[in-house]
Amino acid sequence: MSIDRIVLAVAGFFILLSLAFGASASPLFLSAYWLWFTAFVGFNLLQSAFTGFCPMAIILKLIGKKPGAAF
* Domains held by the chain: number: 1
**Residue 35: inside a domain:** yes
The range of the structural domain enclosing residue 12 comes to 3-62
Q: 30 in a domain, yes or no? A: yes
Q: Taking the CA atoms of the chain, what radius of gyration do you get in angstroms?
A: 14
Is the pLDDT assigned to residue 69 strictly greater than 80?
A: yes
Cα(9)–Cα(43) distance, integer angstroms: 16
> Is residue 70 assigned to a domain?
no
Question: Is residue 69 domain-resident?
Answer: no
Q: What is the pLDDT of residues 9-59, one digit of tens each?
A: 999 999 999 999 999 999 999 999 999 999 999 999 999 999 999 999 999
Reported confidence tier of residue 71, pLDDT bands at 50, 70, 90: low
CA distance 58 to 29: 32
Global pTM reads: 0.86
CA–CA gap between residue 43 and residue 26 (Å, rounded):
23
